[in-house]
Amino acid sequence: MFNVFRKEMEWGGRTLILETGKIARQADGAVLATYGGTTVLCTAVGEKSPKPGVDFFPLTVHYQEKTFAAGKIPGGYFKREGKPSEKEVLTSRLIDRPIRPLFADGFYNETQVICTVLSHDLENDPDIVALVGASAALTISGIPFMGPIGAARVGYRNGQYIINPTSYEREETDLDLVVAGTHEGVLMVESEAKELSEEIMLGAVTFGQERFRGVIDLIISLAEMCAKDPWAMNGPSETKTQLGQKMSELVSEDLRGAFAERVKQNRYEKIAAAKAKAKEALSADYPDVQMFGSVFKQLEADIVRNAILDNGTRIDGRDTKTVRPIVCEVGILPRAHGSALFTRGETQALVVTTLGTGQDEQIIDALEGEYRENFLLHYNFPPYSVGEAGRMSGPGRREIGHGKLAWRAVHPLLPGKDSFPYTLRVVSEITESNGSSSMATVCGSSLSMMDAGVPLIRPIAGIAMGLIKEGERFAVLTDILGDEDHLGDMDFKVAGTDHGITALQMDIKITSITAEIMKIALGQAKDGRMHILGEMSKALDHSRQGVNENAPRITVFQIPKDKIREVIGSGGKVIREITEVTGAKVDIEDDGTIKVASADKESAQRAIDWIKGIVAEPELGVVYTGKVVKVVDFGAFVNFLGSKDGLVHISELAPQRVAQVGDVVAQGDEVKVKVIGFDDRGKIKLSMKAVNQETGEDLQKQAG
């Protein structure tokens, strides 16, 4: 019934298996990819014809994790998988970015790649398995995909690179880098690093490419056995060529004038006018809207790219290495714990830091298990940032991806939780955008956190690089504009400190780039990063001493584990009372660590004293202040030292003989008592007559 094809290889100490022909046979391509004990089903389906009027490639990639893959039942009310998690969104982008450039030019058929995690051994991350499986599924599908590609994860520890480190090994490495590409070059890089040098980062990329070449050969050998016939593709039509020539003659000079405009809005107005002029003159003879848009975009690209390659002139008049003017401001929001406004040319980020407690940590329910995250970085891109009126909705894939890139850049420089026990939330509002708002977020986040008093190890900055490549000629661009991103061949983002790189992300729109180009880009990026750090230091060059006055102060201390129950109380009664009465937040950890947080110093101290009173043990001969909670014939019970109760016998109430307990004390009275002993059952014996009730002095010591 099944015609199964299977290939396997040893890779990084584990077996990689690619199998097709048994599952999802109606998809154009379907591959079951297994690495170690992790299995992902990858499918690819393409529509046989494009939709009318579509002038772009409608590719969608969906990576989805099924909780049964790790033997779990989903949390929540409905007990089924819901909207994509952040990990699923980021992995979908990870797969999309290296495969998108390899589809044939002019292929506008809707294409969908779905990668479903079926089994997870909790050691091998499914993202690399899914990337390899998606490449294999597309390669055998017949869809015009100019692959295959390979991918690998690279770690770095003790001067050695590690291929596909396990989840345990990743916790100990100084680098988490994913690289994907072809035999000839690299298409995509995504990484987080602990201030590593440009040489080490480039070496990691090269190491990864060398190790995934065998995977590419494995996919090719599978395709030779079972690939479907390639779909027919039409080359550029004679009509399209004619339209290109006429459009160039008609509006080339107009477009050159438009791209000479330094101000983005003026430039866009002139481009729109040129497009309208071309439509008016040519649409009657060339009514195909899709073709018209494609030809106009190509003409724009030719003008911009040739100007850069021929004479080094960029859209805004800069040379290839100059960074746009930068203005940095901090402390601009009076009630925020930390704030910064970072402006670079026409890109601007308003970044705000908020300090919270352990109660504010985000609980993440992942396949690997539940864990808490105490550093959150959220990126928002409202439509007004590009001068448009658009739909406002929740964060999309772009917002999540850019936020995570900035998170990776800043994360290695954060202080340890032991020394800085706060939950950090950083929000970046992009208020203007014309190129690399994610790197503006990195710079603004660094300034904002330092303004809040977060003791960053060092300031962090980021910069975006671009590439124009035609044949053997190429130019690497520092601090790219939005148009240079759209019309160029590379988006290469580098973030780090003056000590080294903390995050690197690269996307290529051509078939691949060489190590030589990457080396030049990394060198220019370092120069640009140092310049930006210098500009940032004019506003703030180190973290402020102590947290902002509006932020909660957190006091950390330890109590015995066997006292945790007493502090919490039955059903949480005691801890609720402490927080309600004092106004402070209290976190209790399983090891007895107590964290008391409040912006009001007195409020925090009341909570601390309350807790310490609960867990403290009464000491013989020490005087305490307490409250009479019960009066009986033989004495009075006094509550002191938190929840501790002791008995003042009638004979210890006063120096003289007492006939009735009520003659001396009543319920609710505040009294001073001295611990004079403990009975056989541990009950506490107290004395009032041994203490001056007005001054609290120990009369017995005074007498001695």
pLDDT higher than threshold 60 for residue 7:
yes
Q: Which phi and psi (to 5°) does residue 220 adopt?
A: -60, -40
Binned at pLDDT 50, 70 and 90, residue 697 comes out as confident
d(CA 188, CA 208): 11
Residues 6+ apart with CB under 8 A from 34: 15, 16, 17, 19, 40, 119, 129
* Burial of residue 60, with CB atoms counted within 10 A of its CB: 0-12 exposed, 13-18 middle, 19 or more buried: exposed
Question: 323 and 528 in contact (C-beta within 8 Å)?
Answer: yes
Residue 64: band (very low, low, confident or very high) from pLDDT cuts 50, 70, 90:
very high
Q: Cα dist. 653→364, 656, 657, 663, 690 in Å? A: 58, 9, 9, 10, 9
Q: Is 389 exposed, middle or buried (0-12, 13-18, 19+ CB in 10 A)?
A: exposed
Other Cβ atoms within 10 Å of 280 Cβ, number: 10
Q: What is the pLDDT of residue 339?
A: 97
Residue 402: the pLDDT is 96
* Average pLDDT for 185-192: 94
DSSP annotation of 643: T
CA 319-306-58 angle, to 5 degrees, is: 105
Q: For residue range 304-319, what is the model confidence (pLDDT) as tens digits?
A: 888 888 888 888 888 8
**Which pLDDT band holds residue 703 (cuts at 50, 70, 90)?**
low
pLDDT recorded at residue 539: 97
Write out the H or E segment, with its range, that includes residue 543: none
Give the residue, 650 or 134, on which the prediction is more confident. 134
- Strands 644-649 and 347-356, by their bridges, are unpaired
Helix (H) or strand (E) holding 686: strand 684-687
Q: Is residue 692 over pLDDT 90?
A: no
pLDDT score of 155 more than 80 = yes
Angle at which helix 601-615 crosses helix 573-582, to 10 degrees, equals: 150
Residue 335 banded pLDDT, cuts 50, 70, 90 = very high
Q: Does the pLDDT at position 601 exceed 90?
A: no
Beta strand 423-432 pairing with 375-380: parallel
More confident residue, 275 or 512: 275
Closest Cα partner for 507 from 491, 485, 493, 494? 491
Q: What angle do CA 242, 248, 249 make, to 5 degrees?
A: 95
Are 150 and 180 within 8 A, CB to CB?
A: yes
- The predicted pLDDT at position 686 comes to 93
pLDDT for res 573: 87
What's the pTM?
A: 0.86
57 pLDDT more than 60: yes
Helices (H), 422-553: 437-452, 482-487, 515-537
* Torsion sign across C-alpha atoms 166, 171, 174, 176: positive
What would the mean pLDDT of 263-273 be, rounded to a whole number?
A: 87
Render the burial of 284-294: b for 16+ CB within 10 Å, e for the rest: eebebeebbbb
Q: Dump pLDDT digits (tens) for 363-403.
A: 888 888 888 899 999 999 999 998 889 888 889 999 999 99
Name the burial class of residue 355, with classes exposed (0-12), middle (13-18) and buried (19+) by CB atoms within 10 angstroms of its CB.
buried
Nearest alpha-carbon partner for 107 in 260, 236, 288, 209: 236
pLDDT over 60 at 34, yes or no: yes
Domains of the chain, first to last:
5-226 (3.30.230.70), 247-311 (1.10.10.400), 326-537 (3.30.230.70), 553-615 (3.30.1370.10), 623-703 (2.40.50.140)
Determine whether 13 is exposed, middle or buried from the number of CB atoms within 10 Å of its CB (0-12, 13-18, 19+): exposed
| Residue 126: predicted pLDDT | 97
Q: How do residues 449-500 score in pLDDT, each as one tens digit?
A: 999 999 999 999 999 999 998 888 899 999 998 888 888 888 999 999 999 9
Place of tokens 């033989």: 634
Angle subtended at Cα 313 by Cα 189 and Cα 472, rounded to the nearest 5 degrees: 55
Q: How far is CA 153 from CA 22, 131, 354, 559, in A?
A: 29, 11, 33, 43
Q: Is the Cα torsion angle 138, 147, 521, 207 positive or negative in sign?
A: positive
Query: Confidence class of residue 237 from pLDDT cuts 50, 70 and 90?
Result: low
Residue 477's beta-bridge partner residues?
466
DSSP label at residue 652: G
Q: For residue 196, with 0-12 CB atoms within 10 Å meaning exposed, 13-18 middle and 19 or more buried, which class applies?
A: buried
Give Cα separations from 504 to 43, 126, 500, 531, 552 (angstroms): 29, 21, 11, 18, 34
Percent over 90 (pLDDT), the chain: 54
If one counts every other C-beta atom within 10 angstroms of the C-beta of residue 501, the result is 26
The proportion of the chain whose per-residue pLDDT surpasses 70, expressed as a percent, equals 99
